Amino acid sequence: MAASGRAVRSNSKTTGMNVDADIWKTKDKAPTKDRSVRLRVNPEQSNDYRVVVFGAGGVGKSSLVLRFVRGTFRDSYIPTIEDTYRQVISCNKQVCTLQITDTTGSHQFPAMQRLSISKGHAFILVYSITSRQSLEELKPIFEEIAEIKGTDIEGIPIMLVGNKCDEVNREVGTSEGAAIAKRWNCAHLETSAKTNYNVKELFQELLQLEKRRTMSLQLETKKTRSQKRKEKLRGKCSIM
């Protein structure tokens, strides 16, 4: 029975699931705190800046992330459970890791979704301009972000993104997406992962929305500062 209890605790730690079953199995021991409180840990305790990408299946979440991180695009649709990509950025003139979590388009993993929201610093909500349904499916996700973040949501960067703007069969107009973004008090942008339109701009604008610290995709390293000094000296040189 002790081994069984340990197995349940290990699973609850990694999935963020409720641990009532664990407490019930070990009720003869000292009371155990509900580990679900770990969902509320302040994300700023980590040097990572976590961006979470939400959206229905097939809207192009993975394509946007892969286009940004690797500069590649794939035409085939491969369903995602959850993938994480990392890229070095500048945060308050210090090296920081931009951690992008590409979530599943399915509603089968609500615990994973809540955990991602709790740990996220910023959010990208993606819909396809060819699917009104994909835009409507973002409403409960936004509402859950607002519920979990509470009053902190006012300072959290959120981008509502209409992807596939290269497509002809549009169901959601640009003004309609912008109107919803205004209602949610977030930014709006249309992109195309296929043509690489506004992809880098998406992440740049998202980081610029962060007011608690200065974020940039460009690293200010010693090397670049040295190069700037050399360029200044080179401009002052003259041939006699």
The ranges assigned to domains in the chain are 2-39, 42-216
Token pair 């210090």: residue: 94
**CATH numeric code, 42-216:** 3.40.50.300
Percent of the chain with pLDDT over 90: 50
Residues 58-72: what's their mean pLDDT?
A: 93
pTM (predicted TM-score): 0.71
Closest Cα partner for 12 from 25, 22, 27, 3? 22
| Residue 56 to residue 75: CA distance in whole angstroms | 17
What pLDDT is recorded for position 229? 65
CA distance readout (Å), 8 to 73, 108, 164: 40, 21, 43
Query: Which pLDDT does position 142 carry in this prediction?
Result: 96
- Here the tokens at position 132 are 């009104």
